[in-house]
Amino acid sequence: MDNTTTSAITAALSSLSNTTTTTAEPDIFDSILNKIPLPRWALIAIAVAAGLLLLLFLICIIKCCCCRKKHKKKEKLNLASINGSTTTASLVQPDLEDLESGLEDEKRGQLQYSLEYDFRSHELKVGVKQASDLKVMDSGGTSDPYVIVFLNSDMRKKYETKVYRKTLNPVFNESFIFQIPQAEVAETTLVMQVYDFNRFSKHDIIGEMRLPLGDVDLQHVTEQWHELTAASKVEQEHLGEICFSLRYVPSTSKLTVVILEAKKLKRMDAHGLSDPYVKVQLILNKKKWKKKKTSIKRNTLSPYFNEAFVFEVPFNLIQNVDLVISVWDHDKMTKDEQIGKLFLGCRATSNQLRHWSDMLANPRRPVAQWHSLQPVEDVDKTLGLKTRFKLPLPNS
Ligand SMILES: [Ca+2]
Ligand SMILES: [Ca+2]
């Protein structure tokens, strides 16, 4: 071999050895990176950003998994609260939403009661015997039940049993006595509500039973089990009815309200009936304006008044006026209590609005109508009175 050939070979070898070293693993990246028309720092930044995104994605996946586990736990709790007598078929894979919407139909347990009516003393003896399979209300898988007993005709008189801690099958064996005149028995409903006692929070209602006494044979002593149902949301109590006439004369700005009579008023006094009187009040722009009241009729639930009140209301204000009629029970020793009320005016609804518009449509003619009294809180809420401040008489 001559010099030139050896030098060519060494050159070739050295270039070969070079290529072998450059094709070594870490430099594959280099060659790839070199092909990308971006500076190194930009590539590093992109790599870091991609890494961060991947990390975020992983965190999301982990969180979702945890949530699902929690939901499953909730489902289990709800299922546990469904009473054991529920068929297994209905327990097969319920959706969480199905469970929530179906809460109303949930089993709440049963209550055993007894009834005994004494036709001579007009006493109804209600026995609260025991309950079974009550709904679980507390996280420990039990409840702390007690029962509230009352009649829909007098909701102020409520009896309570003792609280039984941590049981779904309490034995109460307590009895309570109500006075009901025989004539009122058929229209009265006995209500028993089972509550769960909680030391540090609101007591929850487990369920209730409503028994219209008209459906019960009170000639004999009754002892029965009754399925508890969801508590009815609004306690509709009969407060009574009132009849009055309205007359408006635009030319003289005179609004005449004649309180005629009331009937079927709620009994307010423990010993006796009620001592009703009626307040007639005008409200202008949500503020108390003028007020008058009838005489007191003692110890009656169907008082006859026939008392007239005249208010001066200019025609331009009649649109902004509410007429509030409230029936009160007078008490000698304590503060008088409202039995019920209602209001008329352009903001009123149904029967009340009709009466008001009849009055406006028939100027100078008295229009009389019966109205049902409504719960005081409901009417006050609708009226939304702003202040107790009395407005001065507007100059007309
Ligand atoms: Ca409890
Ligand atoms: Ca009274």
Looking at the fold, whether 379 and 245 belong to one and the same domain comes out as yes
Q: Is 253 exposed, middle or buried (0-12, 13-18, 19+ CB in 10 A)?
A: middle
* Total of domains in the chain: 2
Distance 379 CA to ligand 2 centre (A): 22
- Cα separation, 75 vs 70, in Å, equals 9
Task: pLDDT band for 235, please (50, 70, 90 cuts).
Answer: low
Give the residues across from 154 on adjacent strands.
Answer: 151
Sign, CA dihedral 268-271-277-283, equals negative
Does residue 67 belong to any structural domain of this protein? no
Does residue 167 belong to any structural domain of this protein? yes
Average pLDDT of the chain is 80
Distance 310 CA to ligand 1 centre (A): 56
Closest ligand by atom to 146 CA: 1
pLDDT at residue 28 is higher than 60: yes
SS3 label, residue 34: helix
Q: 312-321 pLDDT, tens per residue?
A: 999 999 989 9
Distance 206 CA to ligand 2 centre (A): 35
pLDDT at residue 171 is higher than 90: yes
Looking at the fold, whether 252 and 215 belong to one and the same domain comes out as no
Does residue 10 or residue 349 have the better pLDDT? 349
Task: Give residue for tokens 């149902």.
Answer: 229
Does residue 169 belong to any structural domain of this protein? yes
Does residue 232 belong to any structural domain of this protein? no
Does residue 50 belong to any structural domain of this protein? no
pLDDT at residue 297 is higher than 90: yes
- At residue 23, φ and ψ (nearest 5 deg) are -80, 0
Distance 368 CA to ligand 2 centre (A): 27
Looking at the fold, whether 223 and 275 belong to one and the same domain comes out as no
The side-by-side arrangement of strands in the sheet containing 254-263 is 304-312, 254-263, 241-249, 367-372
Q: What is the pLDDT of residue 315?
A: 92
Closest ligand by atom to 298 CA: 2
Asked if 238 and 153 count as a contact pair (C-beta separation under 8 A), the reply is yes
Q: Of 194, 227, 260, which closes a domain?
A: 227
pLDDT at residue 193 is higher than 50: yes
Distance 234 CA to ligand 1 centre (A): 24
Looking at the fold, whether 267 and 358 belong to one and the same domain comes out as yes
Distance 332 CA to ligand 2 centre (A): 7
Does residue 211 belong to any structural domain of this protein? yes
Which run of H or E residues covers position 255?
strand 254-263
Looking at the fold, whether 148 and 274 belong to one and the same domain comes out as no
Q: What is the pLDDT of residue 204?
A: 84
pLDDT at residue 79 is higher than 80: no
Distance 242 CA to ligand 1 centre (A): 43
Distance 194 CA to ligand 1 centre (A): 12
Looking at the fold, whether 313 and 185 belong to one and the same domain comes out as no
Q: Of 200, 227, 254, which closes a domain?
A: 227
CATH assignment of the domain containing 278: 2.60.40.150
Closest ligand by atom to 145 CA: 1
Looking at the fold, whether 297 and 179 belong to one and the same domain comes out as no
Looking at the fold, whether 306 and 257 belong to one and the same domain comes out as yes
SS3 label, residue 112: strand
Q: Which amino acid type is present at position 162?
A: K
Does residue 338 belong to any structural domain of this protein? yes
Looking at the fold, whether 199 and 253 belong to one and the same domain comes out as no
Lowest mean pLDDT among 30-34, 174-178, 258-262, 377-381: 30-34
Does residue 148 or residue 56 have the better pLDDT? 148
Closest ligand by atom to 166 CA: 1
Tell me the two tokens of residue 282: 């005008």
Residue numbers of the domain that contains 287: 241-383
Looking at the fold, whether 118 and 252 belong to one and the same domain comes out as no
Tell me the two tokens of residue 118: 């004494």
Distance 136 CA to ligand 2 centre (A): 42
Q: Of 227, 254, 288, which closes a domain?
A: 227
Which one, of 109, 112, 111, lies nearest residue 84 by Cα?
Answer: 109
Looking at the fold, whether 261 and 171 belong to one and the same domain comes out as no
Does residue 276 belong to any structural domain of this protein? yes
Contacts of 34 (CB under 8 A, 6+ apart): none
Looking at the fold, whether 258 and 179 belong to one and the same domain comes out as no
